Amino acid sequence: MNIQTQVKRRHFLIGSAGTVAAAAVGGPAIAQDASEPLPDYVAWKDPDDFIVHSKQTLETKRAVQGTELITPSNELYIRNNLPAPSDDIVADRDAWEIEIDGVGNPGTVTLGELKKIGVETVVCVLQCSGNGRAFFDHETSGSQWSVGAAGNVVWTGVPVRAVIDAMGGAADGTAFLTGTGGEEIPEGLPPETIQVERSVPKAAMEQAILAWDMNGEPMPLAHGGPLRLVVPGYYGVNNVKYLKRLALTEDESPNKIQQTSYRVRPVGVSGDPSQPSMYEMNVKSWITGPLVDAETGKVQVHGVAMGGVSALEKVEVSIDGGQTWAAAQFLGPDLGPYAWRPFVLITELAEGTHVLASRATNVAGDTQPEKFPPNERGYGNNGWGVHAVDVTVG
């Protein structure tokens, strides 16, 4: 796609608050009227900060992300595949029970007991696999996220490896770490078809934690309280909320969400377990301002960037649609390899329209491509071309 078509396409995509017109990208119409109050479990969030795709799908507006080092909990996106459980489950948090399997001494532990095993804090990006889906040219099913299915979050909890050690170590032959969500499964439905249960390669145990605090406060129900599996560097779906079972397993979960969903394959092909699963995130960045217009003269072009599973090396910004690039400056402290970093380039913009783009590179040497290959479900889009914005000055 050349720059001209990109510019044209983006005119359809980005509104003044960085919102996406779903109809323009062939997505479903906005399911909930923006003037309706948010559902109870997320009523503590401000609807003005979000693009409301449905009661279970809230996207943070691009402009709201700004240069935030940490995403405040009330601004963090929401994605629930099933209705969130009742808030009864956070009434007595320490009494929440988790079954631990695939270890020397399997059994049930309470959250109160987990807190005595160990504690660690990690900052990492939480990002849905489909973030950037709206920017693909082909028709995709699923939420038409632009950039707002992502945030940078501080998680506190016990390292998974400490829990496994305390329970007698990994059982022989196990290859995956499998987490099961605690939602109620509607009567009559086979759990495999809808239960959120994800398996990640056992190696991810090195950085995974069972988190009870988010941004320094008890985990909100909406984000998985009382306990959530957090796998830093891995896509959102692997970060199982309302965790009720953690197991080291020989095989991947038999559930649909593992076997056929979240599989990367060519357009038109169905999902199957032989295809790559949405595990490790890729290097990515996007501009969060200015998005539509700016005054002539000095301007701070800013955004956020993440390295995926490796730390960031650099971010470059272009004000001419990628013909030339300049090094951006990181803002604030480095919060570790899994965190995002806000960046800024102070530059001059003359009157006219400018295509502003950003391109991140991590220490492993991975750089964002101009265009990310299309895939059936529209996963993993980190192409810098489609994430660019055209800004009118004057």
Ligand X SMILES: Nc1nc2c(c(=O)[nH]1)N[C@H]1C(S)=C(S)[C@@H](COP(=O)(O)O)O[C@H]1N2
Interface residue with ligand X, options 82, 119, 292, 311 (CB under 6 A): 82
Given Mo ion, ligand X, none, residue 257, with its beta carbon under 5 to 8 Å by kind, binds: none
Q: Which of residues 165-194 bind ligand X (CB under 6 A)?
A: 181, 183
Q: Which 3 state secondary structure label does DSSP give 77? A: coil
CB of 151 to Mo ion, least distance (A): 12
Nearest to 336 by CA among 124, 79, 68: 124
Nearest to 193 by CA among 249, 257, 240: 257
Residue that has been written with the tokens 């889009």 in this structure: 381
Distance between CA atoms of residues 240 and 223, nearest Å? 10
Given Mo ion, ligand X, none, residue 290, with its beta carbon under 5 to 8 Å by kind, binds: none
Q: Which of residues 218-237 bind ligand X (CB under 6 A)?
A: 223-224, 236-237
Given Mo ion, ligand X, none, residue 200, with its beta carbon under 5 to 8 Å by kind, binds: none
Parallel/antiparallel/unpaired status of strands 243-249 and 97-101: parallel
79 touches Mo ion (CB under 5 A): yes
Distance between CA atoms of residues 115 and 97, nearest Å? 12
CB of 197 to ligand X, least distance (A): 9
Interface residue with ligand X, options 13, 51, 64, 78 (CB under 6 A): 78
CB of 299 to ligand X, least distance (A): 31
* Position of minimal CB gap to ligand X: 181
Contact track, ligand X, 118-157, x by CB under 6 A: --------x-x-----------------------------
Distance between CA atoms of residues 153 and 70, nearest Å? 6
* Cα separations in angstroms, 341 against 82, 121, 312: 31, 17, 8
List phi, psi (to 5°) of 380: 70, 20
CB of 143 to Mo ion, least distance (A): 8
Burial class (CB in 10 A: 0-12, 13-18, 19+), 157: buried
Given Mo ion, ligand X, none, residue 6, with its beta carbon under 5 to 8 Å by kind, binds: none
> Which of 130/321 has CB closer to ligand X?
130
Tell whether omega for the bond before 39 is within 30 degrees of 0, i.e. cis.
no
128 touches Mo ion (CB under 5 A): yes
> Which of 80/382 has CB closer to ligand X?
80
236 touches Mo ion (CB under 5 A): yes
Candidate ranges 80-88, 89-97, 111-119, 279-287; the one touching ligand X (CB under 6 A): 80-88
CB of 368 to ligand X, least distance (A): 21
260: left (phi over 0), alpha (psi -120 to 50) or beta: alpha
Contact track, Mo ion, 29-68, x by CB under 5 A: ----------------------------------------
> Which of 100/126 has CB closer to Mo ion?
126
Q: Which of residues 302-341 bind ligand X (CB under 6 A)?
A: none
Which amino acid is it at 22?
A
Residue that has been written with the tokens 């599996």 in this structure: 229
Q: In residues, how long is the chain?
A: 394
CB of 340 to Mo ion, least distance (A): 17
Interface residue with ligand X, options 54, 67, 81, 259 (CB under 6 A): 81
State the number of binding residues for Mo ion (CB under 5 A): 4
61 touches ligand X (CB under 6 A): no
Rounded to an integer, what is the distance from CA 293 to the centroid of its chain? 28
Q: Residue 387 CB: number of other CB atoms within 10 A? A: 26
Distance between CA atoms of residues 69 and 339, nearest Å? 9
Distance between CA atoms of residues 6 and 385, nearest Å? 7
Distance between CA atoms of residues 58 and 148, nearest Å? 9
355 touches Mo ion (CB under 5 A): no
226: left (phi over 0), alpha (psi -120 to 50) or beta: alpha
Q: Which residues bind Mo ion (CB under 5 A)?
A: 79, 128, 236-237
Q: Which residues bind ligand X (CB under 6 A)?
A: 76-82, 126, 128, 181, 183, 196, 223-224, 236-237, 239-242
